[in-house]
Amino acid sequence: MSTKDFISMADLSQKEIWDVLLMAKNLKKKPFSRKLHGRSIGLIFQKPSTRTSVSFAVGITQLGGHPLILNADILQIKRGESPRDTGRVLSRYLDAIVIRANRHEDVIEMAGFADIPLISGLTDKEHPCQVLADLLTIMEHRKMKHPRELAGFRVAYLGDGNNMAHSWMLAAGSLGMHLRLACPKGFFPLVGYQEKSNALAKKSKGKIEILTDPMAAAKGAQALYTDVWASMGQESEIQSRKQIFAPFQLNSHVLSAAAPKALVMHCLPAHRGEEITEELLEGPQSVVFDQAENRLHVQKAVLAALLK
């Protein structure tokens, strides 16, 4: 990779995304190696985690490395130590840092002062590892041999213009995909991400649209994607968001507008009966647990590429 860190989907070029996905395919076939032999990777969590913590820890172990899981409550960050000082200190002990952080800006600051690779396990603005897993899942279920075949693939994203939406926009822009987002007014993705993803899409011949009509977004889509209506840190808004986002639920009515055999996708954890119905989550077109599994494989590829 040309980058030291993986904090945003925009950190990777189109070819680098291709390379990571191809490496992930190979690592899925042959999961055990010594690519990280003798390496220690710190995993910092400021937010709750199931898939990120377990998949990174298991993946590092399968590559022969040592995962060190660090709850942020036991670090001096909890008492006000700056991200830059934390990054400097950890660079003296570790070979890489994975962090699930409250603030995207803190991750950027830590990476700027750390001498070792830093990987985002989620921030309030992006979730790049999840999108890589989503892309690998689409490739598998559509029997694509190479990631270049993702160009032109049609995805509809329903719900909040949050961190998942941002990372999906950048990925779609880089890979030439056609992405429609259906979000309520006032909950659109940040303007900066709209501008960046549209610039990428212009080069790749992709297309990104932001709509307010979920049926229009779903029309002809080959994959339907959703996320929770209230992200971590927005718990106080749950009740108001339920009312606002109710028309954006991923259900059989929305699925009827999509292409035949469209994939049903969710990054998990899911609130059944809210952003997605039980029928679709457990239905024959659901690939949500394949997405979860593929976190393991793409993250191993990212680690192997960054640490060489």
Concerning whether 76 is annotated as a catalytic residue, the answer is: no
Question: Residue 254 — φ and ψ, nearest 5°?
Answer: -65, -40
Q: Which positions ≥6 away from 280 have C-beta within 8 Å? A: 250, 251, 252, 255, 264, 286
- The C-alpha atoms of residue 159 and residue 140 are separated, in whole angstroms, by 25
Tokens representing 70 are 């660090």
- The C-alpha atoms of residue 304 and residue 308 are separated, in whole angstroms, by 5
Decide if 126 contacts 9 (C-beta within 8 A).
Answer: yes
- The C-alpha atoms of residue 266 and residue 76 are separated, in whole angstroms, by 34
Residue of 124, 295, 297, 299 marked active site: 295
- The C-alpha atoms of residue 139 and residue 96 are separated, in whole angstroms, by 29
Concerning whether 100 is annotated as a catalytic residue, the answer is: yes
Q: Which positions ≥6 away from 264 have C-beta within 8 Å? A: 223, 224, 250, 255, 276, 280, 281, 283, 285, 286, 287, 288
Q: Give 61-95 as a DSSP string.
A: HHTT-EEEEEEGGGSGGGGT--HHHHHHHHHTT-S
Residue of 39, 51, 104, 127 marked active site: 127
Concerning whether 249 is annotated as a catalytic residue, the answer is: no
Concerning whether 104 is annotated as a catalytic residue, the answer is: no
Residue of 14, 46, 62, 130 marked active site: 130
Residue of 129, 154, 227, 241 marked active site: 227
Residue of 124, 266, 267, 299 marked active site: 267
Catalytic residues: 100, 127, 130, 227, 267, 295
